[in-house]
Amino acid sequence: MKRDRLTYLNVRSKLKETRISTFTPALFRQLFEVPPQQAKYFLETYAKKGLFLRLKQGLYAFLDRAPSEEETANALYKPSYISFEYAMSRYGIIPETVYIISCATTKPTRFFEVADIGYSYFKIKKEAYTGYRLHKNQLGERSSYILMAEPEKALVDYLYFVTLGKKTLNDRLELGKLDKRKIERYAKLFQREKLLMLIKKIYD
């Protein structure tokens, strides 16, 4: 695309064609073959006009293909997958509706707020960074895929932080549909005796 044709209509058409919902300035420059300053000016200008959403520094969302909250969670801080109470609520392990999207990461613990939605990221050991899979996410006529913990791993991630004193144990855990052996296998990855003892306690 020629520089003099970098208009919102052309950008909108290209982003729709490529099915991109979130992007960095680097990806934008690659798609439209423009220098850094021109890309920066375009993105900042149209973000102010409400045509793009600035998710955080260096990450934008295309509002015509606005990402879901779960897609945003995956994009905001990488590597990460949705877990803990949010995933547990989705799976029916806890009865409460959870509004803050909590994720596991191997990077330092962080919190973001985007469009009044909170996104929490909790650091876990690299050895325990597993037990997640792609879930199909349907948004009207379009579908996408999000990374989310398996039910057993979401529970184990959560219980690990309970043993650290950073989360409170929910006394209404629904464990009936979970695979206990899988829970124990994931728990061993954390190499924490208190976690194994807590799992034994909640199953007694």
pLDDT per residue as tens digits for the range 145-163: 999 999 999 999 999 999 9
66 in Cβ contact with 22 (< 8 Å): no
Q: How many CA atoms lie within 13 A of 182 on its CB side?
A: 15
Residue whose tokens read 């191997």: 106
CATH number of 3-65: 1.10.10
Answer whether the bond into residue 67 is a cis peptide, omega within 30°.
no
Burial label for 130, CB within 10 Å (0-12, 13-18, 19+), is middle
Helices (H), the chain: 8-18, 25-32, 36-48, 69-76, 84-91, 151-163, 180-188, 193-203
Q: What is the pLDDT of residues 25-75, one digit of tens each?
A: 999 999 999 999 999 999 999 999 988 999 999 999 998 888 999 999 999
Sheet holding 110-114, edge to edge: 110-114, 117-123, 101-105, 80-82, 142-149, 132-139
Cα 66 from Cα 135, distance rounded (Å): 18
**What's residue 19's pLDDT?**
84
Least confident of 50-59, 83-92, 123-132, 162-171: 50-59
pTM for the complete prediction?
0.89
Confidence bin at 1 (pLDDT 50/70/90): very low
Residues of the chain with CATH 1.10.10: 3-65
Note the residue count of the chain. Answer: 204
Residue 140 pLDDT grade (very low, low, confident, very high; cuts 50, 70, 90): low
User: Distance between alpha carbon 66 and the CA centroid of its chain, in Å?
Assistant: 15
